[in-house]
Structure 1
Amino acid sequence: LILRIRVEGFEALVDLNKKFGADIVTSKLIFHEAAKLGTEIHGISFHIGSGVDNCRPMVGTLQTARTLLDYGRLLGHPVQILDIGGGFLPTNDRSFLKTGHFIENTLSTCFEGITLAVIAEPGRFLVTNAQYVATRVNQKREGYMRADIWGPTCCSFDIIEVFSGFFYLSV
């Protein structure tokens, strides 16, 4: 298992943290429950959201990830993977490299002496300028889309409830 944590402090075009991820208290509860069930958590992941142009809050996020990594290892979990997601909005190769160096230095500081596999997802950088579409609008019409409480699509903007608790289920 890889534990998805919630991060804060980023101004993202698409904020995925309202929909996905456990806060630090809930993350610790998950580590405890997994240990009780004999399930190992092998990593920690997060995603800052999509379209972030300021990576400074990454420092606090990586410090939180380190705290949780240490906590998980203390409970016997073989935490050895860190997925830092993606979402940064570098406008060119130079800013991409600058962002990469900043993250690399922050990782080196926060995880000094720790052997860790780090995963990054630079999807926005790879596809931002991949293509353009030009079209002519011939007609327009108004319509109504019926949606239930789950939202009409799996889009990250479809969110009905911002916070819901951590529940125990018995099967």
Structure 2
Amino acid sequence: MEYINYGEFVYKNDELYCEDIPVSQIIRNVGTPAYIYSKKYITRKYLSFSDAFKEVDHKIFYAVKSNSNLSILKIFAGLGSYFDANSIGEIERVERAGVSPSRIGFSGVGKTEEEIEFALSNEILVFKSESEEEIILIDQIAGRLNKKALVSVRVNPDVDPHTHPYISTGLAENKFGINAADSLDVFRRCSRLKNVILDGIDMHIGSQINNPEPFVEAVSKLSEIFFTLKGEEINLKHVDVGGGFGIKYKTEIPLNIIATANKLIPLFKKLDCEIYFEPGRFLTANSGILVSKVLYSKKNMNKHFIIVDAAMNDLIRPSLYDAYHYIQPLMVLNGKKDIYANIVGPVCESGDFFAKERVFPLMSRNDLIAIMSAGSYGMVMSSNYNARLRPAEVLVDNHSFSIIRSRETIRHMLYDEEELLKG
């Protein structure tokens, strides 16, 4: 098989390193399964993204949903990032990472009254709203609290991002945003509300977009709405492009952010307003891996199965989306025969797999593997299915590493239920 370097995960002397530390050294201290992240990679990706758009006034709202560990959020806070949150829990996480709520945008298609009141009371920066009914509710709650709410409206531009159906969010058939054809009337009506200040127009057309053209098409459509409203003296202060910037999982060519910026900046300059971005996966996916240990190897009929100690409860993307993650041993296994194998976990589901019919060297019990590109939508989507314990999380910073979330214990998992049983 081919051994591939991803960002700060590089093979040196036939062994996988994260920055300046052998991954195997980390695992000797924390065990498996474990998520490992590179601080250097996150920092570099954020700064290069911001630099690509330096010609226009912009804010980067890191998408908290992609990786919400407090230590990861703290890295972004130190870089000057804003944050895109989708729930009270995500707002709380950002605040507990030491971030002012004035740096938080609140997204989501189904905000509850409780969440809206919480966000208003905490004085977040802006609500990113997805329906007229929601905006009216924000106005009512803001009036009751004697506050003014900055609101931007998510418009669905009906642009096909050519990505997986589950992560396509900008087509007319998707649940997100307001139909572009209806958006002008929504802006007009909501501009008359007393406790809402219309601040911007938003979009998010999907995830894993590796071509600039869908962004160009969508921004062009939003620009038409922006200028029509401006002609009616509804002056918006920002345009939010959303996220969805594609990365490398397998052999795909990741989105070239400089080439994308070169195509978008002329459109942004015509708008002459602040531009918001909401990258998540683009900044963190290839900052992280999930390390797992081989438990057993066996053959059923003509299929070879490598059973590892990580499972779908630790990383559900392959089971949920049939998502591809490159998988490779931590040590280069020279001289081992290549075989076609399935890498599977211990959970009682046939859908508990990480790879199907791929070429791997013949691996033995206790060999370690790295599941690449696991820094986004990994730990945040983990669960206790089969009453399995969630893995540890580790952050590497040059020559040192720190545990940023301890491996879950039985006590952690059962504490609340046991207390309730006591009455």
| TM-score using structure 1 length | 0.69
Unaligned runs of 5+ in 1: 143-154, 156-171
Structure 1: 4+ residue segments shifted above 6 A: none
Q: CA deviation at 1:15?
A: 1.3
Partners in 1 of 2:192 and 2:347 — Cα distance? Answer: 60
Partner residue, 2:182: 26
Amino acid at match of 1:67: E
Partners in 2 of 1:122 and 1:111 — Cα distance? Answer: 18
Q: CA deviation at 1:29?
A: 1.2
Superposed CA deviations along residues 110-151 of structure 1, whole A, max 9, x for unmatched, are 243442111112211122122224242335159xxxxxxxxx
Partners in 1 of 2:190 and 2:200 — Cα distance? Answer: 13
Amino acid at match of 2:346: N
Q: Is the 8 A contact 2:199 2:238 kept in 1?
A: yes
- Does residue 102 of structure 1 match 2:259? yes
Which gives a bigger RCO, structure 1 or 2 (Cα 8 Å, sep 6+)? Answer: 1
Partner residue, 1:158: none
Partners in 2 of 1:111 and 1:87 — Cα distance? Answer: 18
Amino acid at match of 2:212: C
**Secondary structure of 1:122's partner?**
coil
Q: Is the 8 A contact 1:11 1:52 kept in 2?
A: yes
Partners in 1 of 2:347 and 2:262 — Cα distance? Answer: 52
Partner residue, 2:168: 15
**Secondary structure of 2:219's partner?**
helix
> Greater shift after overlay, 17-26 or 98-107?
98-107
The 1:133–1:21 alpha-carbon spacing in structure 2 relative to 1, beyond 3 Å, is farther
Q: CA deviation at 1:20?
A: 0.7
**Secondary structure of 1:128's partner?**
helix
Q: Is the 8 A contact 2:191 2:234 kept in 1?
A: yes
**Secondary structure of 1:25's partner?**
helix
The 1:111–1:138 alpha-carbon spacing in structure 2 relative to 1, beyond 3 Å, is closer
| TM-score using structure 2 length | 0.30
The 1:54–1:107 alpha-carbon spacing in structure 2 relative to 1, beyond 3 Å, is closer
Partners in 1 of 2:214 and 2:283 — Cα distance? Answer: 22
RMSD: 2.6
Q: CA deviation at 1:59?
A: 1.6
The 1:63–1:113 alpha-carbon spacing in structure 2 relative to 1, beyond 3 Å, is closer
Q: In structure 2, which of residues 156, 178, 181 is the aligned counterpart of residue 6 of structure 1?
A: 156
Structure that is richer in strand per residue: 2
Partner residue, 1:131: 289
**Rg comparison, structure with higher value:** 2
Q: Is the 8 A contact 1:12 1:52 kept in 2?
A: yes
The 1:131–1:71 alpha-carbon spacing in structure 2 relative to 1, beyond 3 Å, is same
Corresponding pairs, count: 140
Partner residue, 1:41: 198
Unaligned runs of 5+ in 2: 1-150, 293-307, 310-344, 351-380, 382-423
The 1:37–1:52 alpha-carbon spacing in structure 2 relative to 1, beyond 3 Å, is same
Partners in 2 of 1:138 and 1:90 — Cα distance? Answer: 29
